[in-house]
Amino acid sequence: MRNYQVIAAEKVAQRSSKIPKDWLISPDSSKDATNLLHIPTNCGVLSDVEYNITSNYDATALLEKLRAGEFSAEQVTRAFCKRAAVAQQLVNCLTEIFFDEAIERARQLDAERRDSPDPSSSLPPLWGLPISVKDSFAYQGHDTSTGLACYAYEPSPEHSALAALLLDLGAVLYCKTNLPQSIMTGDSDNHLFGRTLNPRNTRLTAGGSTGGEGALLALRGSVLGVGTDIGGSIRVPAVCNGIYGLRPSVGVVPHGGVRDVTVPGTVGVMSSAGPMATSMRDISLFLRTIMKAETWRYDSTAVSIPWGNMNPKKERLRIGLVEDDGLYTPSPPVRRGLKKVADILRGRSDVEIIPIALPNVGQIYQDLLSYYTLTGSDYYFEQFARTGEPLVPSLAALTPLLAIPGTTLKGFFDLNVRRAEAAKTYLSLFRDSDLDAILMPPAPHTAVPLDTWSTITYTGLWNYLDYPAIVIPVDQVREEDATDDISNAKFGAEDARVYGLYTGPEDYRDAPICIQLVGYRHQDEALANTAAVLDGIINGN
């Protein structure tokens, strides 16, 4: 096989060729800026209408406009293709680009609608909506390289289950988004496509592993994207980019036909597919639409729990408040964000806040790492070696993890025994306090400088237990978020090291502050309902 650098040079050139010439922006557009969010406004590529379409609606509102015929599918698709092209030039968030196919499909959708005897009644629920997906979802006719040179130029013979389902639901897929080498780090950086930048602050990470999606959404090159999450890979980029992100219970959203680069047949802690969006109601829209869609017909790995049209109204929500996970002390802005939210909720008669502590996170985290490395990491290295790829910095930083030798079948069963015990303990936590959700930070920090995100205890706990979890943006770093003494890190040297990453509001300018809401396993609908109520209270949505 050829060297990865040769493959990457060709691949990147090919990708560039997919952006029409008149959609190119001046290379100087982002010069000296660390916050790039304003650039799509005045770069000259989008018309006023296209700027309006991409700026002023979430997916729910766009679907209303599409359904009403106020925007055509082609118009909306072209607008998001253009804005995604701009985003790509600014932050390198895309992998596969198929704008031409998408616009052609949108044209067909419009034509079919014109020719239909009863146009509006027969439209599928996502009719005409552009949706972006992480690179690991197979899309027929395009690579599923996951950023590895060894898988470049191998077009997928068929759609992943979710891609096929989204198309049947009327959506338009137009691009795939960037991710880290190995899909296991907090920086979406690989040797095939390079690094995705954070458009809010280019000195901070865009997050991973679904970081391309996060950056694309922040720039509104998409309003609805799909990622995967086995330790935080939807929620970490949601935090970094200030968007909404849901990790559903495993299998609720079809995961079949997703390439993960782990040993085939691996079980234990499983990856989950889920939505990323600019509003809470779009998260609910996605979840509801998928859960109503008989996913089992698309995916033999699906856990096809039907949407139950549960009554979302409760007299009084019971919310468990977790201030820290006992391993990492939240940084000053994260503490301020959580306190702000808790204070708002404490002032409500329809919410009760119950302070709780998370049991045994240290042991759980160790076991989570053991699940990730059941067979060691040789399989990764073998894939990298095919084209001579070295490790990207964020993966090289995980060297201790990569050195874990793996375990035996007996060792695997022992992990399962401990997890079954933890599952009982955490069920008690939920049930005995009759919780509707747990409210906690999604991480001990906001987006951090490039290649320094190493902590997934706040997110990974819920992968270990397979609980659904939603990230909701609530604020951003402000001048008041001064550093404080590192002695405030309560849990030892590693905590102090991570706590020390926060160097004050100047370095962290515009970094979003988010909360995480966690529901019980398979109660994804109930969590979405609870999150919608709380988001309404917190963010006035």
13 touches its own copies (CB under 8 A): no
50 backbone dihedrals φ, ψ, rounded to 5°: -65, -35
Catalytic residues: 134, 209, 233
**Per-residue b or e along 474-505, where b marks 16 or more CB atoms closer than 10 Å to that residue's CB:** bbbbeeebebeeeeebebeeebbebbebbeeb
Please answer whether residues 210 and 93 qualify as being in contact, where contact means their C-beta atoms are separated by less than 8 angstroms. no
Distance CA 402, CA 392 (A): 13
- Give one DSSP letter per residue of 386-431, joined into a string: TTT----HHHHTTHHHHT-----HHHHHHHHHHHHHHHHHHHHHHH
374 touches its own copies (CB under 8 A): yes
Beta bridge partners of 92: none
**Angle between helices 409-432 and 361-372 in degrees, nearest 10:** 140
Work out which of 121, 311, 349, 408 binds its own copies, going by CB under 8 A: 408
Work out which of 10, 104, 352, 414 binds its own copies, going by CB under 8 A: 414
Return the range that interacts with its own copies (CB under 8 A); candidates 5-13, 263-271, 320-328, 444-452: 263-271
Please answer whether residues 148 and 389 qualify as being in contact, where contact means their C-beta atoms are separated by less than 8 angstroms. yes
Work out which of 14, 35, 60, 304 binds its own copies, going by CB under 8 A: 304
427 touches its own copies (CB under 8 A): yes
Q: Which two tokens stand for residue 502?
A: 């926060």
Quote the least distance from Cβ 238 to its own copies, whole Å: 26
379 touches its own copies (CB under 8 A): no
Q: Which is nearer to its own copies, 312 or 411 (CB)?
A: 411
Beta bridge partners of 354: 320
Quote the least distance from Cβ 435 to its own copies, whole Å: 12
In which order are the strands placed within the sheet that holds 272-277?
Answer: 94-97, 172-177, 130-134, 224-229, 272-277, 244-247, 469-476, 512-518, 437-440, 317-321, 351-355
300 touches its own copies (CB under 8 A): yes
Return the range that interacts with its own copies (CB under 8 A); candidates 7-15, 130-138, 258-266, 389-397: 258-266
487 touches its own copies (CB under 8 A): no
360 touches its own copies (CB under 8 A): no
Count of residues engaged in binding its own copies, rule: CB under 8 A: 38
Quote the least distance from Cβ 263 to its own copies, whole Å: 6
420 touches its own copies (CB under 8 A): yes
- Give one DSSP letter per residue of 79-124, joined into a string: HHHHHHHHHHHHH--EEEE-HHHHHHHHHHHHHHHHH-SSTTTT--
67 touches its own copies (CB under 8 A): no
**DSSP letter assigned to residue 256:** T
Who's near 139: CB < 8 A, 6+ residues apart? Answer: 96, 98, 133, 156, 159, 160, 163, 173, 176
263 touches its own copies (CB under 8 A): yes
Q: Which is nearer to its own copies, 24 or 423 (CB)?
A: 423
381 touches its own copies (CB under 8 A): no
Interface of this chain with its own copies, residues 428 to 447, rule: CB under 8 A: 431
368 touches its own copies (CB under 8 A): no
292 touches its own copies (CB under 8 A): no
68 touches its own copies (CB under 8 A): no
296 touches its own copies (CB under 8 A): yes
The secondary element (H helix, E strand) that includes residue 190 is strand 189-190
264 touches its own copies (CB under 8 A): yes
Q: Which is nearer to its own copies, 159 or 336 (CB)?
A: 159
Distance CA 524, CA 452 (A): 31
Interface of this chain with its own copies, residues 490 to 529, rule: CB under 8 A: 520-523
Work out which of 267, 315, 485, 493 binds its own copies, going by CB under 8 A: 267
Contacts with its own copies by CB under 8 A lie at 263-267, 296-297, 300-301, 303-306, 308, 374-375, 406-417, 420, 423-424, 426-427, 431, 520-523
